Amino acid sequence: MVHLTRRYWFSASHRLHNPALEAAENTLVYGKCNNPGGHGHNYHVEITVAGPVDARTGMVVDLTELDGLAEREILNRFDQINLNDDQGFASLVPTTENLCVQIYHIVRERWTDLPSARNARLERVRLEETSSNFFEYTGEGD
């Protein structure tokens, strides 16, 4: 079993705000991240897959296929947007935790689009928000 991790970058903004909470509670819970103007991050997302090395290609998955999936489904969707405007956050606060879970589900849903991934599986998504904050999701509990 080999683990392969591929890293991608995108920039997006968000405002952490829950409309079900009073203004004072939003300020208490989210602090400066509740700023009505929002704020942005340069996110680093890692997709880790695991599987045997294919005897014919010498790879776990074809990197071109994985890169294409990431470009189409993640980067094109989230780069240079306000996450609050994305349909995936219509009923979710766009925290990086929720974004990490969203990205995992997007990749998992499109996994069968990768012909080379038939013997591999999505292992985890890791999302770095700042040099001090990163989040990982493995799909456990789904």
- Over residues 101-126, the pLDDT tens digits come to 999 999 999 999 999 999 999 999 99
Percentage of the chain modeled with pLDDT above 90 = 98
Alpha-helical segments (H) within 7-139: 23-30, 63-70, 76-78, 96-110
pLDDT surpassing 80 at residue 142: no
Half-sphere exposure (Cβ direction) of 88: Cα atoms closer than 13 Å: 20
- Name the residue type at position 125: V
pTM of the predicted model as reported, rounded to 2 decimal places: 0.95
User: CA 126 to CA 141: how far, in whole Å?
Assistant: 17
Q: What domains lie within the chain, and their CATH numbers?
A: 2-137 (3.30.479.10)
| Three-state secondary structure call for residue 47 | strand
